[in-house]
């Protein structure tokens, strides 16, 4: 990590460049194309992605589905609402969560979610982290759909709408469990996916359920002191087979999103056999990439671990120069924003 500091990944981002709404068409985003070997970059559009992929490339997507994870609860003896953000399922009816106001929610507190769900707080951590045990019900996720809200990130200064339930999902989502979207995937449409396939590119999927790390800011000064929360992932058999074949044949592995990168690089360091598990892998400059050779990603927060991951692949100086260009050219940032292709 070269003894890097979090502040080494800062850049000036005007507030008005943070996208508050998605574009009317998913694939209409701008795309900054960065050559990680030379540092050269150019402006393009996402609809050109297929032209940047080579026949034989293996494109891997994260098929996690965002759940309506933001809930509002009441408790006996407290008149205000308590906001609960479910961040990770750890057992059939147990979840980690962020709770606000945390001081009002201690171990042993019972939370009532209308007449749909009820939970007891069974553990407490720092910064509003809690573990909840729900009373078992037959249709937990159906009830969640009825009372929950799509957990838009805090930098979107608005309430979620009915439209976000579809738009804050990838078109290929399959496995429910994320508290935030794998945002690089939001640009894809069925038409773009067909164009990519027709070019001779292979497509496979992993699952990583985005959890607490997305919502918690970095609270240390040195990269060496950063420790990420664990997130649940699955490497399916078909994808494990596709990765092994691509490796044997020397074909390029392209990741759509930092969540896909983290899953693949964790598995490269543990096991590339089909399996499920937990990862807290943190990638930053100085880390080698064992599988991923190209990356589609959105633009990330200043001083964020995701910006550090992109810098690990493409070089900190290259990435910050590209980001400064994106700011100058008025690219749209973060979840509903534009994207970057690094190769």
Tens digit of each residue's pLDDT (9 = 90 or more) over 206-239: 999 998 666 678 999 999 999 998 999 999 999 9
Of 60, 117, 51, the closest CA to residue 260 belongs to 60
pLDDT tens across 91-125, in order?
999 999 999 998 889 999 999 999 999 999 999 99
Both 208 and 329 in a single domain? yes
Both 223 and 308 in a single domain? yes
Sign of CA dihedral 239, 278, 108, 75: negative
- How much is the pLDDT for 171? 98
Sign of CA dihedral 282, 287, 293, 297: positive
Of 93, 69, 32, the closest CA to residue 151 belongs to 69
pLDDT tens across 16-31, in order?
999 999 999 999 999 9
- Supply φ then ψ for residue 175, to 5 degrees: -110, 110
Q: How far is CA 309 from the centre of its chain?
A: 12
93 SS3 class: coil
Tell me whether residue 239 is in a domain. yes
Of the residues 147, 178, 196, which one is the last residue of a structural domain?
A: 147
pTM: 0.95
Both 135 and 172 in a single domain? no
Q: Is pLDDT above 80 for 149?
A: yes
pLDDT tens across 278-336, in order?
999 999 999 999 999 999 999 999 999 999 999 999 999 999 999 999 999 999 999 99
Query: Could you tell me the CATH number of the domain that includes residue 120?
Result: 2.40.10.240
What is the DSSP code string of 197-217? Answer: HHTT-EEEEEEE---GGGTSP
Across the range 119-141, mean pLDDT stands at 95
Across the range 78-100, mean pLDDT stands at 93
Residue keyed to tokens 């080698």: 288
Which structural domain range is residue 140 located in?
A: 70-147
CB 213 within 8 A of CB 231: yes
Q: In the 8-state DSSP scheme, what is residue 136?
A: P
CB 269 within 8 A of CB 281: yes
Of 110, 44, 48, the closest CA to residue 76 belongs to 110
Query: Could you tell me the CATH number of the domain that includes residue 51?
Result: 3.40.1780.10
What is the DSSP code string of 40-77? Answer: -EEEEEGGGHHHHSPTT-EEEEE-EEE---EEEEEETT
Q: Is pLDDT above 60 for 1?
A: no
- How much is the pLDDT for 303? 96
Of 92-96, 130-134, 152-156, the range with the lowest mean pLDDT is 152-156
- How much is the pLDDT for 90? 92
Tell me whether residue 153 is in a domain. no
Across the range 68-80, mean pLDDT stands at 90
Q: How far is CA 278 from the centre of its chain?
A: 15
Both 98 and 44 in a single domain? no
């Amino acid at each position: 990590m070269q003894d890097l500091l979090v502040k080494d990944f800062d850049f000036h981002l005007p507030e008005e460049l943070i996208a508050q709404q998605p574009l009317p068409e998913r694939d209409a985003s701008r795309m900054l194309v960065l050559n990680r070997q030379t540092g050269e970059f150019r402006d393009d559009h996402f609809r050109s992605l297929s032209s940047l992929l080579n026949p034989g490339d293996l494109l891997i997507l994260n098929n996690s589905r965002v759940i309506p994870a933001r809930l509002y609860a009441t408790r006996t003896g407290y008149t205000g609402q308590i906001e609960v953000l479910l961040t990770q399922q750890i057992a059939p009816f147990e979840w980690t969560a962020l709770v606000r106001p945390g001081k009002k929610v201690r171990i042993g507190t019972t939370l009532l979610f209308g007449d749909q769900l009820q939970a007891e707080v069974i553990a407490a951590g720092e910064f509003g982290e809690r573990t909840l045990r729900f009373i078992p019900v037959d249709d937990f996720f159906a009830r969640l759909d009825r009372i929950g809200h799509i957990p838009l990130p805090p930098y979107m200064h608005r309430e979620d709408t009915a439209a976000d339930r579809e738009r804050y999902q990838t078109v290929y989502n399959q496995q429910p469990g994320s508290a935030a979207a794998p945002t690089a995937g939001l640009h894809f449409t069925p038409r773009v996916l067909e164009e990519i396939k027709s070019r001779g590119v292979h497509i496979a999927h992993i699952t990583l359920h985005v959890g607490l790390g997305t919502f918690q800011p970095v609270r240390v000064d040195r990269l060496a002191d950063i420790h990420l929360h664990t997130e649940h992932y699955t490497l399916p058999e078909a994808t494990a087979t596709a990765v092994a074949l691509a490796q044997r044949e020397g074909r390029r592995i392209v990741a759509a999103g930092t969540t896909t990168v983290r899953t693949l690089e964790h598995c490269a360091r543990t096991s590339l056999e089909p399996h499920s598990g937990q990862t807290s892998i943190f990638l930053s400059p100085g880390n080698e990439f064992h599988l991923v050779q190209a990356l589609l990603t959105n633009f990330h927060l200043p001083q964020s671990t995701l910006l550090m991951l992109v810098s690990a692949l493409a070089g900190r100086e290259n990435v910050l120069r590209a980001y400064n260009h994106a700011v100058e050219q008025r690219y749209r940032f973060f979840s509903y924003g534009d994207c970057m292709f690094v190769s």
